[in-house]
C-alpha cells in the first residue's frame, strides 16, 4: 500500500507530465506560424515594437525547454519555476487585455480567431498551470536536502 510520500511523488510526476505536455504543445504551436503569433502579441499593446519579435522568437524554445526540464527529475525544480513565472506573465497580460476591453487571439496554442470567451478560458488555463507549477516547485524544494547546520 503506497504511503503519503509516494502518493505525493506520483502526484508531482503526474502534474509535471501534464504541465510539460501543455507547454511543449504550446511551444510547437507558436513555432509553426511566427508571423501570426507576432500579430497576436502586438494586439495586446503591451510590448513596444522592438521587443515583440524577440519575444516571439524566444518564447517557443523557452516553453519547449520548460517542458523538457519538467520531465527530467534533476531539473524539474527550475522547469517548474520557469513555468510559474511565464504563466504569471501570461495571466497578467490576459487580465490586462480583458480589463481594457480588448478582444483578441492570445496565440497561446497557435493561431485562432479573436474571442473574449476564449480569453477567459485561457486565463483559467494559466491559473491552473501556475498552480501546478508552484505545487511541483514547492514539492521539489522541500525534497532538496537542507544544508548541514553550522557547528
Partner 1 sequence: MPNSDLNPRNWQTSAVSIATPEPAGLPHARSLAWQIVRDLGLVAILAIVSLAAGLVINRSSAHPLPVVYQTPEQRFDAELTTLVAAPPFKIAPAATVGLDQFRSAVESKSALILDARPSLFFEQGHVPGALNLARDDFAHDYRDLAGVLQAAIDKPIIVYCSGGECHDSRLVANALLSLGFGNVSVFTGGWDAWSAAGLPASKGSVR
Contact by Cβ (8 Å): 41, 56: yes
Q: Is there binding between residue 141 and partner 1 (CB under 8 A)?
A: yes
CA nearest to 110, candidates 18, 20, 52, 40:
40
Contact by Cβ (8 Å): 66, 20: yes
- How far apart CA 139 and CA 7 sit, in angstroms, is 12
Candidates 14, 17, 54, 95; binder of partner 1 (CB under 8 A) is 54
The nearest distance, CB 121 to partner 1, in angstroms, is 26
The nearest distance, CB 90 to partner 1, in angstroms, is 14
The nearest distance, CB 119 to partner 1, in angstroms, is 21
- C-alpha grid cell for residue 84? 510559474
Exposed, middle or buried, 55 (CB in 10 Å: 0-12/13-18/19+)? middle
CA distances from 98 to 8, 83, 132 (A): 36, 22, 23
Candidates 2, 74, 117, 142; binder of partner 1 (CB under 8 A) is 142
- C-alpha grid cell for residue 129? 498551470
Q: Which is nearer to partner 1, 3 or 142 (CB)?
A: 142
Q: Which is nearer to partner 1, 17 or 85 (CB)?
A: 85
11-40 footprint of partner 1 as x/- string (CB under 8 A): --------------------x--xx--xx-
Give me the residues that bind partner 1 (CB under 8 A), please.
31, 34-35, 38-39, 41-42, 49-50, 52-54, 56-62, 65-66, 69, 77-78, 81-82, 85, 137, 141-144, 146-147
Amino acid at each position: 500500500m503506497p504511503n503519503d510520500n509516494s502518493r505525493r511523488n506520483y502526484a508531482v510526476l503526474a502534474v509535471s507530465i501534464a504541465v510539460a505536455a501543455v507547454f511543449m504543445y504550446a511551444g510547437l504551436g507558436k513555432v509553426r506560424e511566427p508571423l501570426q503569433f507576432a500579430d497576436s502579441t502586438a494586439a495586446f499593446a503591451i510590448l513596444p515594437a522592438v521587443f515583440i519579435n524577440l519575444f516571439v522568437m524566444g518564447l517557443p524554445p523557452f516553453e519547449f525547454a520548460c517542458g523538457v526540464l519538467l520531465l527530467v527529475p534533476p531539473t524539474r525544480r527550475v522547469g517548474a519555476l520557469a513555468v510559474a513565472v511565464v504563466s504569471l506573465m501570461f495571466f497578467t497580460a490576459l487580465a490586462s487585455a480583458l480589463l481594457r476591453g480588448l478582444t483578441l487571439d492570445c496565440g497561446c496554442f497557435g493561431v485562432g480567431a479573436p474571442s473574449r470567451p476564449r480569453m477567459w478560458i485561457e486565463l483559467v488555463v494559466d491559473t491552473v498551470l501556475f498552480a501546478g507549477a508552484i505545487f511541483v516547485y514547492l514539492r521539489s524544494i522541500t525534497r532538496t536536502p537542507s544544508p548541514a547546520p553550522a557547528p
